Amino acid sequence: MLGYLKKFLYVLPAQKERLIWIILSFIFVSILEVFGIGSIGPFLSLAGDPNLIHQNSIASSIYESLNLSSERVFTALLGLVIVVTFIVKSWVSWYAKRSVFVFSFHQRGALCQKLIGAYLSAPYTFHLSKSSSYIIQSVIDDTKGFSNNVLMTLLNSTANLIVITSLTVLLCVTNLLTVVVILAIFLPLFLILHQYRDRVRQWGKRLSRSNEATIRTINHSIGGIKETKVIGCSGYFEKELENCVRSYEESASSLMSIKLIPRILIETVLVVIVVGFTSIVLLMGRNIENLTSVLGIFALASIRLMPAITNLVNSMNTLRSSSYILQKIYNDVKELEAKQEGATLRPSYDGAASDNHRGSDLTRTMSFQRDIHLDEVVYRYPVAEENALNGVSFTIEKGQSIALIGKSGAGKTTLVDVILGLLVPQSGDIRIDGISVYRDLRAWQNIIGYIPQSIFLTGDTIERNIAFGVPDDRIDAERLDKAIHAAQLRELIEELPDGIKTQVGERGVRLSGGQRQRIGIARALYHERDILVLDEATSALDNETEHLVNQSIQALSGQKTLIIIAHRLTTVEHCDRIYLMEKGRVVKSGSYAEVVLERDYLSS
């Protein structure tokens, strides 16, 4: 349990001090409840025989200090005090429970922000090992599970535990034998539920995993709807979803069923106790009137104890079933924080520690006046046995256009990811004008534009997709127009009834592949970056559109520094320098004629 609480407090995002105030409010409610319930027995006895006031020293001293002339008036005042106590208790109880809801939902929102911020700031290698369905479930479902099943449950368990403890003390003072009987009967209940603790954890784990699998199956089936329909594999995805739903159904049914046991058993036990205890007293020939106050307190306390004990037992099961969610979030937060801490310091080329500055400032940029130099760059993926890059070195002059060519697996994309700052090499360095980019990686990335082979488009307008990440009120119309013209999009937009306000559909489904690619190029041009990286940027275009886009790219030569990956050799014909890569190394470099037109490359 201590380990559970340690993980809980570690994951809890903010306002931990509010927990103290919520717990104090629970204690105050419990004090009022014990006083109110404890006063009912004497009140019932006094209502039947007001003269009993003088037989109790405390009641008698209060009666005399108030200078009352009638025992009935004292009894009525006691009843009024009880009524006020319960009214105050009810209001404070409502406020405390509302505070639990407010606090829990606030924590869920804070945890969502914490996780998405951590995921977005995580190194690129983290995303290579995590699926989108995993991250979506963590941010949406797991944070909801943490709020509802962990945080709320812990707070409500604390409240119930305080109530149970207080009322048990009250019953011990009233009649110790009754409490002993209750505990003796409730003990088997806890033993039975204890036997199911491992199964409850397993059911909770299956619930979480089936939810993740459901999201993944839906993503795969709907994300590739064209292929799904053409291939005719919708039945496969339906069967996959059926398996996910069946697993969820079995686990959820088991969890909900075991939560029914405490209420049913406790309800039966309390009836047996109250009725059976009274029957035994009658059979023993004792005066039942002497038990009026005891039974009154016990009956009212039992009514309050039954839901409290039921909720506490169910809460224990809920916490067990949610332990997988808590462990999952805890592991992610620890891993992300460790990766971010590891990313903030990196040995630079001269051995000094350099600040990575992974901040959110998108305005600062590195000065780029002369050249970019790659110096013996070596990179190996975390789970790989061999290096993906082996001592890559070359220099790119400002305004120069270079191309990276080679067979698949040669290391071209890995090298581009290193240049983009997505992957940090194990050794070597990238220097711009003699300064390591790892001194301020964010400032380095702020001068790079990236145009991938497959353009990501949001289900929004053409305008917002080109000005990606820019608020509407800050979109520069002049820059937008220039980017549209340079990317050969003018004719397309003029043909659309809504122009740049046209909705492209989810992932740009309403556009052709070439149109999506040109929007991606316009996006990079809009942000006016000094360096443009094109990763197979024209591979999805038809020959005519490719020719037009290549003309736009060639027009940027001398104005922008271009780094191009291409399999179509016509795309790199205009480049100033070509680098041929094999097995993570640059094996040849030179002009187009020197590298591409050589017989040994063309025949390979």
Q: Does the residue 208 lie in any domain?
A: yes
Q: In angstroms, rounded to a whole number, what is the distance separating the alpha carbons of residues 400 and 575? A: 8
pLDDT tens-place string over residues 169-201: 776 776 665 566 566 656 766 776 677 777 777
pLDDT (tens digit per residue) in 157-166: 888 888 878 7
Question: Which of residues 220 and 481 earns the better pLDDT score?
Answer: 481
Q: Which residue has the higher pLDDT, 31 or 429?
A: 429
Checking if the pLDDT of 415 tops 60, the result is: yes
**Bigger pLDDT: 431 or 8?**
431
Residue 281 or residue 155, greater confidence: 155
pLDDT at 431: 93
pLDDT at 231 (0 to 100): 60
Q: Where are the beta strands (DSSP E) in 295-399?
A: 345-347, 353-355, 371-379, 389-397
pLDDT value of position 350: 36
pLDDT at 374 over 80: yes
Tell which of 301, 336, 371 closes a domain: 336
Give yes or no: residues 177 and 212 share one domain. yes
How many folded domains does the chain comprise? 2
Distance from CA of residue 363 to its chain's centroid? 28
Same domain, 309 and 251: yes
Q: Which of 245-254, 282-291, 354-363, 433-442 has the lowest mean pLDDT?
A: 354-363
Res. 529: pLDDT tops 90: no
Same domain, 377 and 408: yes
Q: State phi, psi for 325 to the nearest 5 degrees.
A: -65, -45
Q: Which residue has the higher pLDDT, 249 or 563?
A: 563
Q: With bands split at pLDDT 50, 70 and 90, how would you rate the model's confidence at 359?
A: very low
Per-residue pLDDT of 442-460, as tens digits, reads: 888 888 888 877 777 777 7
Residue 350 counted as domain residue: no
Neighbours of 456 (CB within 10 A): 12
For the chain, first and last CA: distance in Å? Answer: 64
477-491, 528-542, 568-582: range with lowest mean pLDDT: 528-542
Taking alpha carbons only, the member of 430, 372, 400, 376 closest to residue 577 is 400
pLDDT of residue 227: 55
Residue 4 within any structural domain of the chain: no
Ramachandran angles phi, psi of 451, nearest 5°: -120, 100
Q: How far apart are alpha carbons 315 and 259 in whole angstroms? A: 9
| pLDDT for residue 70 | 77
Is the same domain home to 431 and 308?
A: no
Q: How far is CA 70 from CA 42, 74, 465, 508, in A?
A: 17, 7, 84, 86
Asked if residue 348 has pLDDT above 50, the reply is no
Domain carrying residue 464 = 357-602
Run of H or E residues at 242: helix 234-283
Among 1-10, 338-347, 384-393, the range of highest mean pLDDT: 384-393
Q: Are residues 189 and 49 in the same domain?
A: yes
Nearest to 579 by CA among 452, 368, 377, 411: 411
pLDDT value at 228 more than 70: no
Same domain, 197 and 56: yes
Co-location of 277 and 363 in the same domain: no
Does residue 572 surpass a pLDDT of 70? Answer: yes
Judge whether 109 lies within some domain.
yes
CATH number at residue 574: 3.40.50.300
Considering only residues 313 and 480, tell me which one the structure prediction assigns the higher pLDDT: 480
Q: What is the mean pLDDT of residues 553-580?
A: 79
- For 230, the token pair is 């053409």
**What is the three-class DSSP state of 586?**
strand
40-44, 148-152, 360-364 — most confident range: 148-152
Q: Flag the least confident range among 47-56, 329-338, 430-439.
A: 47-56
| Boundary residue ending a domain (270, 303, 336) | 336
- My answer on whether 227 and 109 are in the same domain is yes
pLDDT of residue 418: 92
Place of tokens 């999506």: 516
Q: Is the pLDDT at 514 greater than 60, yes or no?
A: yes
Whether 427 has a pLDDT exceeding 50, the answer reads yes
Q: What is the CATH number of the domain that holds 133?
A: 1.20.1560.10
Residue 299, pLDDT score:
64
Q: Considering the domain boundaries, does residue 346 fall inside one?
A: no
Same domain, 330 and 375: no
| Domain-located, residue 1 | no
pLDDT at 52 over 80: no
Tell me, yes or no, whether 379 and 484 share the same domain. yes
| Block residue for tokens 């600062």 | 364
Give a yes or no: residue 8 inside a domain. no
More confident residue, 178 or 278: 278
**Average of per-residue pLDDT values in the chain:** 76
The answer to whether 419 and 529 have CB atoms below 8 angstroms apart is no
pLDDT at residue 146 above 60? yes
**SS in 3 state form for 61-94?**
HHHHHCCCCCHHHHHHHHHHHHHHHHHHHHHHHH
* Cα-based distances in Å from 239 to 220, 250, 477: 13, 16, 49
Q: Which of 105-114, 270-279, 499-508, 537-546 has the lowest mean pLDDT?
A: 537-546
* pLDDT of res. 604: 47
pLDDT confidence of 355, banded at 50, 70, 90? very low
Taking only the tens place, the pLDDT of each residue in 67-79 is 777 777 878 888 8
Same structural domain, 75 and 219: yes
**Residues 500-525: what's their mean pLDDT?**
78
Is 508 inside a domain boundary?
yes
Q: Tokens 């003072």 label which residue?
A: 173
Residue 365 and residue 322 in one domain:
no
Grade residue 345 by pLDDT with cuts at 50, 70 and 90: very low
Grade residue 135 by pLDDT with cuts at 50, 70 and 90.
Answer: confident
Residue 436: the pLDDT is 92
